[in-house]
A and B are shown apart, each in its own frame.
Chain A
Amino acid sequence: MAGAGKESTPAGLYHYVINDVIRSIRQSFLNRGVDEQVLQELKSQWELKIVQSRSVKEFVAEDQRTASASNVMYPHGNRFPIDALSQVNNTRHSKGTFSVYIFTSQTKCLLNNASEFPSYSASTGAKSAKLEDDEPLNTDDDASDEDDIDSFECDNVIVCQYDKVTRARSKWKLHLKDGIMNIGGNDYVFNKASGDCDWA
């Protein structure tokens, strides 16, 4: 019974899924004459990558050999390119392709700081003012184009199934289930979720 409660967390669920997958595919590995050690390698590497993603704080690999990887600290608990992490560790993970996650909120923050840089605005201020007088450019067009392209791009994602999506006037109701969310680099899981959204 204690185990059932634990699986309400992403860490508990992930351990269950990993163990269940490894158990279920063991026979397929044996049938093809693939060594048991490869199966254990699959399990430990899978766990290691979840630890390295830093998406699940409580997740600790069952294999103790991965303990050193979890000691590498990065600011804000954000995800960093996994290949960069491998270089830091200087371990065996030199091959393969990796995803790179860049958080837009931080990028915006950097851009804001850059525009506040005093010498930059002082030196270009006179020039840009003169340019506006000569040939006024409609910069609004550019902005709206980019907005359309980026509108479905988002770092915070819920992957789930829907029972119902309904609308009454401008009020939308979302009845979702079986979801995995990644919000701000952290994973959350849910059995059911309901959403109330307004559309204007």
Chain B
Amino acid sequence: MSYQLYRNTTLGQSLQETLEELIQTQQIDPDLALIVLLQFDKTINSALANRLRTRMSFKGHLRTYRFCDSVWTLIVENAEFRETGSDTHSFKVDKLKVVACDGKTSGLECKEL
């Protein structure tokens, strides 16, 4: 199963805007655009899992949270990030939203969710 939540990132939104333009100028049809989006879901899910080594840690104050349909949404305030690795650098964020899907069901076995 490939999550669609990465469509809501810089990379995903740029793709969606491009596809909308190509549909509007009738260079592709919506069916083909959907095929592209589904391929994007597949590629980004596997790329994040397999092609990255970056590790981060952060501390902060949990302001509010929500757990709905297996999705966590958390608001963290005064978060301090650290990238663990060779070139360690840190940065602070006054308010941060975390949207997280269940990492355990993203395997090959597609559960009815």
Interface residues of A (CB under 8 A from B): 4, 7-8, 13-14, 16-17, 20-21, 24-25, 28-29, 32, 34, 38, 41-42, 45-46, 49-50, 53, 55-56, 82, 93, 95-99, 105, 151-152, 154, 156-163, 165, 172, 174, 176-180, 182-184, 187-200
Candidates B28, B58, B96, B102; contact of A34 at CB < 8 Å: B28
Q: Report 25 cross-chain contacts, Cβ distance below 8 Å, ordered by A residue.
A: A7-B52, A16-B51, A21-B15, A21-B43, A25-B35, A29-B32, A32-B32, A42-B22, A99-B13, A151-B63, A151-B64, A156-B96, A158-B99, A159-B5, A159-B8, A159-B99, A161-B3, A165-B100, A184-B93, A189-B52, A189-B54, A190-B55, A190-B56, A190-B83, A193-B56
Chain B interface bracket (under 10, 10 to 19, 20 to 34, 35 or more): 35 or more
- Report the minimum CB–CB distance from B85 to chain A (whole Å): 8
Candidates A4, A24, A157, A160; contact of B43 at CB < 8 Å: A24
Residue of B nearest to A191 (CB): B52
Chain A interface mostly: mixed
How long is the Cα–Cα vector from A41 to B98 in the complex, in angstroms?
A: 34
Would you call B93 and A195 a contact (CB within 8 A)? no
* Cβ of B88 under 8 Å from chain A: no
Would you call B58 and A195 a contact (CB within 8 A)? yes
Chain B interface mostly: mixed
Would you call A162 and B101 a contact (CB within 8 A)? yes
In addition to A13-B52, A21-B15, A161-B3, 20 A-B residue pairs with Cβ atoms within 8 Å of each other are A7-B51, A13-B48, A17-B43, A17-B44, A24-B43, A25-B35, A38-B28, A42-B22, A50-B10, A96-B24, A154-B95, A161-B103, A174-B100, A176-B100, A180-B11, A184-B93, A192-B55, A193-B55, A194-B56, A196-B57
